[in-house]
Every structure is written in structure tokens, then in C-alpha cells.
Structure 1
Amino acid sequence: MDRSAFFRYLTEVDARLFPDGMSDAQQRGLTVKLTIWDAHYSAYPDSYLAAALGQIHRETGGRMEPVLEAFAADRSEAAQRLQAAFDSGRLSWVKTPYWQADESGQIAVGGGDIQLTHRRNYLKAEAQLAKRGIACGLAADYDRILDPVVSAHVAFCGMIEGWFRPCRLADFDAGDGRLDYRAARDVVNGDGAHIGDEIVRNCEIYAAALRAGGGFQRGRAK
């Protein structure tokens, strides 16, 4: 794929996602994701990548690099912010605070491009990536999810294989690689009714940028 054309589309042709220009950090984050997709996931339709990038854009607040929940500097700060929100009643759907230290002594607040919470999900991600021959060390060190390469694999595999919720991208595939981007929000979060328009916009812009760059050569999934 012509990455220059991809980035040019996002910064010059349709700059709605990057109205103030694309920072070096944003370009670096996107570059890692394109590289990982090209090397490991290019057997899947480009619409799957567009869906992943569009949702990552939302989940990272447009940073396009792995973040911690509440955009905190570290897990302790994230836990403090979540506890304050919980105490004020702003996390009414949370039954058991997951930001307290677990049996490993670590704090399993959300982290990554598509955020993982709870130790069981860090363990699952490590086990599933190991099946693909990808060692990530998430069980021993949750902050490994902030490694851009590890995080990209978790985001892509998680959406393709259905780790985050009981559905996967293929469930929203019309059969020819076209995705219902609005409905596919459910792969990550069940809030599509509230932010569906934003998700569709994000995904369609990334899809157009991928087309501008010529897309990826379909090959055998690795």
C-alpha cells in the first residue's frame, strides 16, 4: 500500500479526524498498526482494518497510540480517577471495582488501543496471541499492553476473533467484505446507539484513506 497516499488523504483530502494536523505520535501509532496489519492480518478485508482504526480512534481519543483508562499517566492514577467516579455515582454499571490490585499485585485498569480490563482478559490475550506465535508477557506485566506492537495485535485479534464481547467483525460482514460499521461497534462496546454516527464517520474516513493508498494485498493470514 502507498502509505504516503494514505496519510495524505487523512491530512489533506479529508482532515476531519485530524483537523489540527497529524502529530508525529499519531503518525507513528498509525504506522505501527499498518505494519502489523500488513504482516499478519492482510488476508482479511480492508474494511476490517478500517473498522479497527475507526474504533481505535474513538478508544484512544484520537491519539492512535495505546492509552490507559481515563487517559491517566499510570495505573495508580487511573485507579484513583475511577474510584472517584465510582464514589460519585458516575459508574453505576460497575458492580465490583476492577481497579483494585488483584492477586498478582497489579491493577487491571483498561489499557491499550482497545482497552483490556480484569486479569482474566490479560491472561486470555496472552494465551490467544501465543497461539499465533506472538509472545507478549501480559500476565506478568500488564503495562506490556502499552507496547504499540502488542496493543495492535490485541486490538486486531480481539476484534477479529471476538475477545471483547460475544461477537466479532465477521458477524457484521455482508459477505463481500463490506461491514456495517455502526453495528460493528458492538464488537468493542454496546454504546453504538449513542455514538454510532461518530463510529461510522471514523471508519468511513479510514476506509477511504486505505482506498486512496491502494489497500493491502490479500494473502494468507499469518
Structure 2
Amino acid sequence: MTVAFDRQFFFDTVQLSLFKGSLSPGQVEGMNAIIDYWDANLATADRRWLAYILATAFHETAYTMQPVRETLATSDSRAVEILETAFATGRLSWVKSPYWRADEDGKCWLGRGLVQLTHRRNYEAMSEITGIDLVAQPERAMEMAPAVTILIEGMLRGSFTSHRLCDHLNDEKEDWVNARRIVNGTDRAEKLAEYGRTFLAAIRPRA
């Protein structure tokens, strides 16, 4: 099914349903970047996938639709400080090894992008997909173009958890809740499902 759709209707709809009646230039830029990649590479794919990709970016970026660092800090050093404090006070009980601490090369593998890319192994995997050496320059995951590629291709290929979009949204089933497993277990799964359905309602074919 085609996902070449009416962008004006899309933006008018999500502005009211998800963005409290107002869209910033950054939010528009981010969504256009995702949609542009989709139209250029996946225009005939399942539009539910695009809706859930947008929902994931919406959640992971705290609604900004711009690449962000984990904790929304404006620098790596500040993000590490926030994470260390949270870890020390027991607010990150699921973390066994603090992945944000600088390695022997001084690199930090904290979350970055439109979907929070963490751990060196994931930066290595996404280097192959983006064609950018993210191990040498992990901060480039904060650039829009590679961030969009990481988000979309990672969710399509199952790069993050082995779960793929096609595992949960296909001809046989429409499991918006368990689609969260593509990125982060079941964390906020119901909320992400709601976002996904809302984005889907805004996607309609161009006249």
C-alpha cells in the first residue's frame, strides 16, 4: 500500500492531535526528514510502519522531533553527570554496567539521536548502515541525516532488539503495543501504541 500522502493534511492533523495546536520549525523539520527518507526509499511499504516510526521519534525525543542526547542534556558531559547521579541514587536499577562512562579511548556510548542509540556495539552496527564511522565520531548520531537512517533502518531490520516492524504490524496482525519491543521492551508501550495510531490517522494519500 502506498504512503505517498497529503503532507498538509498530515501536519494540520498532528498539530492538533499531538502537538497541542502548535508546531515549531524543528518539529516540522524532523518529521519532514523522516517522511522524505520514507518517500525516497519505502514509499510502497506499510504506512503503519511509518506511523510507528514517527511515534517512536515523538517519544524518544521528548516531542521535539530533533536528535537529542539521553537525558536531553546539551552536552555529553552534562548527560553523563545526570546519568551518574541517577545511577548512584538507584533510579537506573536495570543498568548493570554504566554504558555512558568513557571507555579507554575517551568515547561515551550514551543515547543519541531520534532513537536513543546506546552501547559501542550498536554504534558499530549503525556505522555499517549509515556509511559513517560512528565509532570514531559517535556525536554524528546527533546529525539529522544519520539519525533518520538509524531510526528507520534500525526499526526495519531489527537492529536494536531483533524485533522488526514487520514482526508486529503485518497482514496477519496489528500489534501496536508489542511493537515497542522493537526499541525498548514494553516501556511506555501503551502510550506509544496510542501515538502510533494517532500518526496513522494523519496519513492519507494525496488526491
TM-score relative to the length of structure 1: 0.86
- Deviation sequence 1:118-153 (CA, Å, 0-9, x none): 1111011111x1xxxx42231211111111111011
1:3 aligns with 2:7: yes
Contiguous gaps of at least 5 residues in structure 1: 216-222
Aligned match of 1:149: 145
Encode CA deviations 1:187-208: one digit per residue, 9 max, x unaligned.
Answer: 111124xx23311221011111
Asked if structure 1 preserves the Cα contact closer than 8 Å seen for 2:59 and 2:192, the reply is: yes
User: Post-superposition, which runs of at least 4 consecutive aligned residues in structure 1 deviate over 3 A?
Assistant: none
Is structure 2 residue 143 aligned with structure 1 residue 139? no
Q: Is the 8 A contact 1:48 1:179 kept in 2?
A: no
Give SS of 1:156's match: helix
Aligned AA for 1:18? F
1:107 maps to: 108
Figure out how many residues of one structure are paired with residues of the other and give that number.
202
Residue in structure 1 matched with residue 182 of structure 2 by the alignment:
187
Q: Which runs of 5+ in 2 are unaligned?
A: none
Taking the TM superposition and a 5 Å limit, the aligned residue runs for 1:34-53 are 34-53=35-54
Whole-angstrom CA distance in 2 between matches of 1:99 and 1:196: 25
Q: Bigger shift: 27-36 or 165-174?
A: 165-174
Identical aligned pairs, as a percentage?
A: 35
> What secondary structure, in the 3-state scheme, does the structure 2 residue paired with 1:181 have?
coil
Q: Which amino acid aligns with 2:71?
A: A
Stretch moving more, 183-192 or 26-35: 183-192
Bigger relative contact order, structure 1 or 2, given CA contacts below 8 A and separation 6+? 1
- TM-score between the two structures when normalised by the length of structure 2: 0.92
Structure 1, residues 72-109: CA drift from partner, whole Å, max 9, x if none?
10111111100000000111111111111123321110
Q: State the distance in 2 between where 1:182 and 1:17 align.
A: 18
Distance 1:36 1:173 in 2: 20
What is the distance in 2 between the residues matched to 1:43 and 1:118?
A: 33
